[in-house]
Amino acid sequence: MFIIALNSNNVVQNGQNSTLVYKFPNSVSLTNKYIAVSSVSMYYSWFNISSLLNNNTLSYTWTVGSTTTTYTVVIPDGLYEVSDINNYLQFTFIQNGTYLINGSGDNVYYAELVINLNRLSVQLNTYYVPTSLPSGYSAPSNFVGYPTTSFNPVITIPTYLSSILGYAPINGVVFVSNGNVGGAYTPPTAAASNYWVSKNGLNTLSYLSNTAAQVQPNSSVYISLSNINNPYAIPSSIIYAIQPSVAIGSQIIDRPPNFMWNKLIDGTYTELRLQILGLNYQPIVIQDPNMTILLTIRDKDEAMGSK
């Protein structure tokens, strides 16, 4: 058996850090050869929200007098949990002056995204915006103003972000919450029965996501290798899958207990090209290129033992 080691020196400099090329010292004949991943060491550093994934925006409304403005929230590229998305949403409320301050000095926001553990869902709560300053409250210096009629902010979750939060489009229509203007209740768009909705005595509207939230769309990634002969798979180049079981930003160390051998197409080689693909079989963007991937090559007549 022979070992091939790929590391950051093999990374193709295309801005993605997910393609590695191993160049043999000389042309080699690989006939009746099998190859397997023997170990992977890399950092969990591929973003779940980015402009490239087209899932980094949502919007909310705010009414001053009778004029309603829609604010777009652009989330910086990064690795986010639902709580992080909520924090950034509320950071945007601060930037836009669409919040108040209660008597304890705490900021009061009129929309939030939280995890509902009992329902295994992401819950969106929107709250009634008052027409004047409540007793004991104060307004920030950049406060934009009050509505003539109380309302709940309307939250719009576009298609690609909806899979992260679990608010799947229904019949192609994205999720849009209800504004609850003047206390009247009408369902959200796109078949309200598919989103659990409740309303309490304070006119708080709560929505539950209608599918399981896929917070990390690439919760596992594939290792693809050039010149693999696998007639039973599409694409035929997949030789291994990595499922991170560490915290975001931590090191992934993966050593398969048994090698999964894959037949190389017979031929003369000058290089091997390895790619790390997302669940859609497209190369992912890895932020930290520090990695080591060991591949083992064996002859056809060598023992089929694990190592």
Does one domain contain both 64 and 204? yes
**Residue numbers of the domain that contains 15:** 2-46+218-299
pLDDT score of 184: 61
| Three-state SS at 160 | helix
Please give the pLDDT value at position 172: 76
Considering only CA atoms, which of 116, 76, 73, 115 is closest in space to residue 95?
73
106 and 139 in a single domain? The answer is: yes
Percent of the chain surpassing pLDDT 70: 94
Residue-wise pLDDT for 86-128, tens only, equals 999 999 999 999 999 999 999 999 999 999 998 889 999 999 9
* Predicted pLDDT of residue 165: 94
Looking at residue 53, its pLDDT comes to 87
| Position 303 pLDDT exceeds 80 | no
Helical segments of 69-210, H only: 82-96, 159-165
Q: Is the pLDDT assigned to residue 8 strictly greater than 90?
A: yes
Last residue of a domain, one of 208, 234, 259: 208
Check whether residue 155 and residue 88 sit in a common domain: yes
Which helix H or strand E contains 43, and what residues bound it?
strand 33-43
Residue 197 within any structural domain of the chain = yes
Mean pLDDT, range 195-204, rounded to an integer = 81
pLDDT for residue 44 is more than 90:
yes
Mean pLDDT within 58-80: 96
Q: Give how many domains the chain has, as a whole number.
A: 2
Higher-confidence residue of 303 and 287: namely 287
Instruction: Give yes or no for a contact between 128 and 203, defined as CB atoms under 8 angstroms apart.
Output: yes
- The per-residue pLDDT for 187 is 56
Residue 202 and residue 254 in one domain: no
